[in-house]
Amino acid sequence: MKTFRSALLAVVPAMFVAVFFVYPVATLLARGLGLDAGRLLEVITGSRFLKIIWFTTWQAALSTLLAGLFALPLTWALANRQFAGRRLARVLVTVPFVLPTVVVAGAFIALMDRFNLDEGAVRLRHTVWAILLAHAFFNVAVFARSVGGFWSQLDRRPEEAARTLGASPWRAFVEVTLPRLRPSLIAAVSVVFLFSFTSFAVILLLGGPRRSSIETEIYRYAVTRSDISTAAALSIVQMVAVVSLVVTNGWLQRRAVGRQGLVADRAVPAQTARQRGVLATTLTGTAVVLGLPLAVLVERSLASGGGYSFANYRALGERVRLLPISAADALVNSLAFAVVAAGIALVIGGMASLAIVHGTRSVSRLLDLGMLLPLGTSAVTLGFGVLISLDRGVLDLRGSWWIVPITQSLLAIPFVVRGVVPVLRAIDPGMREVAATLGASPGRVRREIDLRIGARALATGVGFAFAISLGEFGATSFVGRRSDLLTVPLAIQRLLATPGDLLRGQAMALSVILMVVTALVVFLSDRLHPTSGGML
Amino acid sequence: MTLAIEAVTVRYGETIAVDQVTLTVATGEVLALVGPSGCGKSTLLRTIAGLVQPVSGQIVWQGRDITQVPTHQRGIGLMFQDHALFTHRSVADNIAFGLKMAGASTSRQHERTHELLEMVGLAGFGGRSVEGLSGGEAQRVALARALAPEPELLLLDEPLASLDRARRIELNAELARLLHELRQTSVYVTHDQDEAFSVADQVGVMHGGRLLRSGSPAEVWRDPQSELVARFVGHEAIIERDGQRFAVRPDAVALVPPGDRPADGSYAGTVTACAFQGDRYGLLIEVDGQQWRVFSADPSVVGSQVKLTLRPDMLSPLIG
Amino acid sequence: MNRSTTTCRAVLVALVLSLLAVGCGGSDADVADEGCPTITLVTYDSFVVSEGLLESFTADSCIEVEQVSSGDAGQLVSSAILTKDNPTADVMFGIDNTFLQRGLDADLFVPYESPLLANVDAALQLDPEYRVTPIDYGDVCVNYWLSELSGEAPATLDDLIDPAHADQFVTMNPETSSPGFAFLLATIARYGDGWEDYWQSLVDNGVSITAGWSDAYYGEFIAGGGSRSIVTSYASSPPAEVIFADPPIDTAPSAVLYDSCFRQVEFAGILAGTEAPGAAQQLIDFMLSSDFQEDIPLNMFVYPANRDAALPEAFVEFGQLADNPATLTPQEIETNREAWTERWVEIVLG
C-alpha cells in the first residue's frame, strides 16, 4: 500500500505529461521528420539557423540576468523588511506577468515616444535592448515572488553570524545568503530563461523585423510556409537546448545546499532612518519602473471622447462587432479556464513536487525534466501536436472546452514545481523522522509536514498558474477551440487588429481589467494557505 | 528484556556504519550509547527507530521482531539534537502531534499537552510559536513532544548537544530524574561520557561501528577492558607492568605527601593543571609524557614535582 | 508489486476517463435532435457573425453549426493540412487567394458548385473546379492620414519613393504579416521584375518595417500616436476609423492610395472527409445568401462576394474599392512565395 501510494504521486503527473504533452509533441515531430529527415541536419548545420539559435540563447541568458538584477532590490525588500503594503506589493508585482505582449509592447512604445527613446541618442525601438527590457519587465515577478518567498523563510542567524565575524552586509549577502538562496535562485533562473527562450511576441513586436528566434522561426515555417519538416527540426533543436539546460540545472540544484533552517518569516521592520530610506528608495524605484508602462495603459483606457471617462469600461458589457461574444463574457471564459488550469497545476504540480523530493533519483530527475519541458516547447509544436494526436476515441479533445485549460496548465505546472521543490528540499529531515516516530504514516508525513511547510510556495505557484492561464495567448490560439470560448488576451488582440480609437480604448480597458482581476486572484490565492504568520 | 538488538549490521554503500552490534535494554532502563562522532551510535539509534534498515540482524521488541515494521507503527518517541520542532506549528501543536496521529480526542490532546507543559516546566507556553523559544525551552518542547503519546521506547539523539554548558548540566540532571521517575525505557545517544554516566543505567561504548564495551556506568568506568574505551571514559594514562597493560583510573593513584619517602615502584611527575572541583581537587600530572588524572584533597602548585603511587588492585587491566 | 501496478493503472484509466466524461458532457452539440445533423465550421480567430445569424440558418435548415476557431489564416490552413486525415470540421472558411493554391495542392476540399455563384463576379471565382467558393473580398491598400501629410497626397506607388514622403511610410514584414505580404504582391504585380528596385528605393526613402499590422498601425502610424503618416492597411480602414471613432466624426481622417491595392478574396470550402456533405453544401449556400453576405461588412470589414448584397452606409460613403486592383494567380503566389519573401528579406532587412 505504501509503495502504491507513493508510486501514484509520481505516476499521475507522469501520465498527465505523457498524454497531454509528450504524445502530441512526439507525434508532430515524427510526422515532420518522417516527411524529410534530412532537414534536421540542414537546420543544425546551416549558418543562418546557427545564428538564430545563438541569438535565441544569448538574449534569453541576458534577459534572465537583467530580470534578476532588476528584481534584486524588490526581492530583498519583500524577504527582509516588514512594511505596510508588503502583501500588496507581492501581489502587484505579478501584474506585468499576465499582460498580453501586444499590450505591453504598445505601452513600451508609447513610453519610448514620451521619453524620446525612439529617435535621438538612446534608441530602444527595434533593438535587442527593447527585447531584454521587456523580458525583464515580465519576469520581475518570478524572482520577487518565488525567490523572495523562499528567502523570507530562511533563518537569518547565519548571516548574523557572518556579520559578527566582520563581513559587510554585501559580503554577508554574497558569501552566506546567496549560496543559501541557490536552490530557489536556480529554479527561478531556469523558469525565466525558458520563458525568454521561447518568447514569441516580444521578439517580433519589440525586436523589429530583423530579429528571429527559434520560436519565431518555428512559427514562420509551420504556419506561413506549412513546412512541418523544418519546424519539427527547429523544435528538436529547441528541446535539446531545453533538456540540456534542465539537466545542468538539476545538477546545480543537487550541488546546492540542501537543508536549511526554515522560519515562518525572517523579515523585520526597518529601524534606523537609513534602513527606512533604503526601503523607501527600493520600493519607489521598482514601483516607478514597473508602474510607468502600466500607468500608460490606465491612462489610455480612460481616454475617451477627447477627454477622460469610464466609457471604455462601460462599453465592455456589450458585444462589439468583431468579437463573437462580449468582453465581459470573454472574462468569464478566461476566469473559468484559469480556475481549472490552476486547479490542475495545483494537484499535478503538488504531486510531482512530492515525488521529485521523495522519489528515487531517476524518478526525480525524469519527473523534474518532464514537468519543465512544456515551458520550453514552442506553442506551435504543442498546439499542432494536440491537433493531430488527441483526435480519436476517448482522447478526441479537439475543440473541447478542456483542451484549453489542460494546455495552459502544462505551462503553469513548472511554476508550481519550481517554487515548491526547493522549499521541500530545505525541510529538516529530522522533522519528517520525528513525525514518523510519533505515528505519522509516510502519506501523513507529506500532508502534515511537507504540504504545510510547502503551502506558501504552493500558493505562490497557484497564483502564477492563474496569472499564466489568464494571460496565455499562443497555445490557446493553436489548440483550436469553440469560437465562443474567446479569452481576454485573444479578445484584446482582436480589438487591436482593426482601426478605430473606440476599439483601442476598449482593448486598453480590457487590459486594465485583466490586471485588476489578476491582482485580485493572486491576492486571494496568496491568502488561501493555512500559515497565517508573516507576509502571507 | 524489552528491547533486544541482535547482531545488527548497517551499511551505507561500502561503509559499514554498524557492525554486528548486540545489546539488550530492560524495561524502564536507560541505555546510553557513547562514542566519538562517526562511531555508529546515531545510526544504531536510527535503526532502532526504523529510519534505517539493517542489512542483517534484528530489532526485537518484547519478543517480537520489528525490523520490518515501519517507523510510524513502532510507537517510539524520538528527540533530536537540533530538536527538529515543527516550525509551522505552535508549541502546543508540536506536543499534540503524536496524539493527533494516534487519533486522540481534542480534549485528550489538550489535557495531555497541558500535563506535559507542566512536567517540563513550560506551563503557559502552549500558544507560542516555536520560533521564539530559547535553546533550553526548545529542548523541553522536543522532550514533551516525544513523551506526549507515552511511547514505550524513547530515543534521544544528542538531545543536549546544542545547549550551552550550564544549561546542559542542568537539563541533563532534570532529564535523568524525569526518565527514572517515569521509568521510561530509553536509548540515549551522546558523545559526552559525563552526560552518559549521569543519565544511564547501562552504557554502550561504540567505536568504528562496533560495540566495544557495555555495562553499568560503574562497570565501564572501573573496567573499560580496552584502551579505546579507557581513553574515552577519561582514563588517559596507560601503563605496562609485567607484560600486561593497565588503564590508570584517577582513584587508583595517590599522591605521596611531600616529605614521605616514596614506596618502591612510585612514579615522578610534574603538575600541569589543578582545578577545584568542590569536594576535591582534580590534578593533571605529566608522567613519562602521559597525562594522569589524579584526585587530591589539597591543591598543588602547577609546575611542582610530585611523587605518585598506584593501588595495583584498582588498576584496570586491558585486553588486547 | 504486480498487484499495485495493476491497481495503479486502473486508477489512472478511471481518472482520464472521468476527465473526458466531464469534457464530453460539456459539449452537447454532438447529440443532435432527431434528423438534424450537426456540422462544424472551422474559421480563423477573427471570424465573427452577428448574433442569431447562424441560429436562423439552423431554424430554416435544421442544421446545427458548431464553430471552431483555429488561429490566424496561416494557422488555419496549416492545421487543416496537418489534420487532413481526420479533419476537425466539415466546412472551412477563411482561406484566401494567397494561401489558396496550398490548400488545393493538399486536396483539402471536395468540389461544390453553389447555384448562388451566379451572383458572384467571375473574377472572384479563382478555382474553376469549384473546390472553394468565394465568400468575401477586400483590398489591402496603403492608407495615409489626411491632416498630417507632408506634401501632396500620394496617388501612385511611385509617390511612395518620392523624397517628399521620406520617412513617412510604414509597412509590414511579408513573412510575419498577411497585409505585409499582400502589399509585396501588389508591388510585384505592378512592377514585375522591377519590384526589387522599387523596394530598394523604398528602403532608400526611409520605409519602416514592423512585424505585424497592429504594431505598424498603432505603433508607428499617426492613428496610434506614432509619427508616420502612410501605412499599409485595408481599403476598409477609413470607414472603420469613422465607425469606431471616439468621439464620433463625420469624415474619415484617412484615405486610401488606390494604386497600391492588392485584392484578397476569402473562400469557404467543404473539407474532404466530411460525413455530412449535404449539410455542408447547405451551409455554403447560406454563406452566399444575402442574409449572411449583408452581415459580413460590419463584422469583418470586408466586402460581400454576392453582388446582390446591400452595403452598409459607412461603406458606401467612405469606403471604395480599387477599380483596378493588383492580382496574381494563386499558382504564381504559391510557386514564388518563398523566393519572393527571401529576396525581400535580403533587400529590405539586409
CA distance C224 to C241: 12
Q: Between 2.40.50.140, 2.30.30.30, 1.10.287.130, 3.90.400.10, what CATH number should domain B237-317 receive?
A: 2.40.50.140
Q: B72 and A449: CB-CB below 8 Å?
A: no
Q: What is the mean pLDDT of residues A319-329?
A: 82
Q: A434 and B145: CB-CB below 8 Å?
A: yes
Query: Residue C316 has which C-alpha cell?
Result: 458606401
Q: B70 and A449: CB-CB below 8 Å?
A: no
| A436: nearest CB among B72, B145, B151 | B72
pLDDT tens across A259-297, in order?
666 777 888 888 788 889 999 999 999 998 888 888 888
| Minimum Cα–Cα distance from B131: chain A residue | A263
Fold match between C31-137+265-304 and C139-263+324-349?
yes
The pLDDT of residue A255: 65
CATH superfamily of B3-222: P-loop containing nucleotide triphosphate hydrolases (3.40.50.300)
B touches C, CB cut-off 8 Å, minimum 3 pairs: no
The chain-wide mean pLDDT, for chain A, equals 84
Task: Locate the domains of chain A by residue range.
Answer: 2-12+49-297+322-527
A485/chain C closest Cα distance in angstroms: 9
Which residues in chain B are closer than 8 Å to A434, comparing Cβ atoms?
Answer: 78-80, 84, 145-146
Q: How confident is the model at residue A534 (pLDDT cuts 50, 70, 90)?
A: very low
Q: What is the mean pLDDT of residues A57-86?
A: 93
CA distance A279 to C115: 75
- Is pLDDT of C33 > 70? no
Q: Which of A456-465, B100-109, B245-254, C8-17 has the lowest mean pLDDT?
A: C8-17
Of B42, B25, B18, residue with least CA distance to B216: B25
A touches B, CB cut-off 8 Å, minimum 3 pairs: yes
Fold match between B3-222 and B237-317?
no
What's A194-258 look like in SS3?
HHHHCCCHHHHHHHCCCCCCHHHHHHHHHHHCCCHHHHHHHHHHHHHHHHHHHHHHHHHHHHCCC
Q: C78 and A204: CB-CB below 8 Å?
A: no
pLDDT tens across B71-90, in order?
888 888 888 877 788 877 88
A470/chain C closest Cα distance in angstroms: 18
B154/chain A closest Cα distance in angstroms: 10
Q: What is the mean pLDDT of residues C50-64?
A: 91
Task: Count interface pairs A-C at CB distance under 8 A.
Answer: 202
H/E stretch holding A420 reads: helix A403-426
Q: What is the mean pLDDT of residues A500-514?
A: 86
Say if C347 is an interface residue toward chain A (CB within 8 Å): no
Which residues in chain A are closer than 8 Å to B78, comparing Cβ atoms?
Answer: 433-434, 437-438
| Residue A376 C-beta-side C-alpha neighbours within 13 Å | 27
Other CB atoms within 10 A of residue B141 CB: 27
The pLDDT of residue A531: 44
Residues 214-233 of chain C whose Cβ lies under 8 A from any Cβ of chain A: 214-215, 217-219, 223-226, 233
Task: Locate the domains of chain C by residue range.
Answer: 31-137+265-304, 139-263+324-349
Task: Locate the domains of chain B by residue range.
Answer: 3-222, 237-317
- Is pLDDT of C225 > 90? no
Which residues in chain C are closer than 8 Å to A31, comparing Cβ atoms?
Answer: 82
Q: What is the mean pLDDT of residues C325-337?
A: 93
- Is pLDDT of C151 > 80? no
The pLDDT of residue A259: 60
Strands B153-157 and C64-69: unpaired
Helix (H, G, I), strand (E, B) or coil at B288: coil
Residue B277, classified by CB atoms within 10 Å of its CB into exposed (0-12), middle (13-18) or buried (19+), is exposed
The pLDDT of residue A119: 57
pLDDT tens across C290-306, in order?
999 999 988 888 999 99
| A391: nearest CB among C74, C83, C240 | C83
CA distance B252 to B255: 10
Q: A438 and B87: CB-CB below 8 Å?
A: no
The distance from CA B117 to its chain's CA centroid, rounded to whole angstroms, is 25
ipTM: 0.81
Query: Residue C147 has which C-alpha cell?
Result: 491632416
Strands B3-12 and B15-25: antiparallel
The model carries a pTM of 0.80
Asked: is C31-137+265-304 a CATH 3.40.190.10 domain? The reply is yes
Quickly list DSSP for A141-177.
HHIIIIIHHHHHTB-SHHHHHHHHTT--HHHHIIIII
| Minimum Cα–Cα distance from A442: chain B residue | B72
Alpha helices in B163-306, H assignment, sequence order: 165-181, 193-199, 217-222, 227-232
Q: Residue ranges of chain B with pLDDT lower than 50?
A: none
Q: What percent of chain C has pLDDT over 90?
A: 59
CA distance B279 to B273: 17
Q: Which residues contact A3 (CB under 8 A, 6 or more apart)?
A: C1, C4
Say if C75 is an interface residue toward chain A (CB within 8 Å): yes
CA distance B136 to B165: 11
H/E stretch holding C134 reads: strand C132-145
Q: What is the mean pLDDT of residues A41-67?
A: 90
- Is pLDDT of C18 > 80? no
The pLDDT of residue A117: 61
According to CATH, what is the number of the domain C139-263+324-349?
A: 3.40.190.10
pLDDT tens across B150-190, in order?
898 999 998 888 788 888 888 889 889 999 999 999 999 99
CA distance A470 to A491: 12
A456/chain B closest Cα distance in angstroms: 11
Q: How confident is the model at residue A121 (pLDDT cuts 50, 70, 90)?
A: low
- Is pLDDT of C217 > 50? yes
Of A382, A401, A25, A16, residue with least CA distance to C21: A401
Query: Residue C194 has which C-alpha cell?
Result: 522591377
Q: What is the mean pLDDT of residues A145-160?
A: 84
Touching subunits of C (3+ CB pairs, under 8 Å) are A
| C82: nearest CB among A209, A228, A499 | A228
According to CATH, what is the number of the domain A2-12+49-297+322-527?
A: 1.10.3720.10
